[in-house]
Amino acid sequence: MATATSLRGFATVNFYATDLDAAKKWYSEVFEIPPYFEKPGYIEFRVGDYEHEMGIIDAKWAPPGATGTPAGAIIYWHVDDVEGAYKRLLDLGATGYQPVITRGEGFVTASVVDPFGNILGVMYNKHYLSIINGN
């Protein structure tokens, strides 16, 4: 049972971009949808099975030390085909950060650096699928 201070799930991940218009265009192509929310200096997408929130903030609002290249923790988004997703991200202009790596049975990861210096991870995760499928 969750308590008031329990971590209950991923709510929003935020990346920074010095060119928010270019980030909007790039991520709209990556996610194959436009942002669902926009205000000056911020855009937000709802992505995937649980409509997780992915926000992109104008880098001028970043706290000191928050930006660098590459920057940030790696959030891995589940995909059914890691090699295909990794190749697609590279084709869209990302650069490789970590190649496709099998981490164990049912766990495969890869990551790229987006054109704005953020690390974006993709992962095949059998536990994710078991939750989605209700197992």
Instruction: Check for a shared fold between 10-62 and 72-135.
Output: yes
How high is the pLDDT of residue 74? 81
Please state the domain extents for the chain: 10-62, 72-135
Q: Where are the alpha helices (DSSP H) in 32-125?
A: 82-91
Superfamily of domain 72-135: 2,3-Dihydroxybiphenyl 1,2-Dioxygenase, domain 1 (3.10.180.10)
Q: 89, 67, 66: which is closest to 76 by C-alpha?
A: 89
pLDDT tens digits, 21-72: 999 999 999 999 999 999 999 999 999 988 989 999 998 988 776 667 776 6
How high is the pLDDT of residue 26? 97
Query: Can you tell me the distance from the alpha carbon of 102 to that of 97, in angstroms, rounded to the nearest whole number?
Result: 15
Q: Could you tell me how far CA 59 lies from the centroid of its own chain? A: 17
CATH number of the domain at 10-62, please? 3.10.180.10
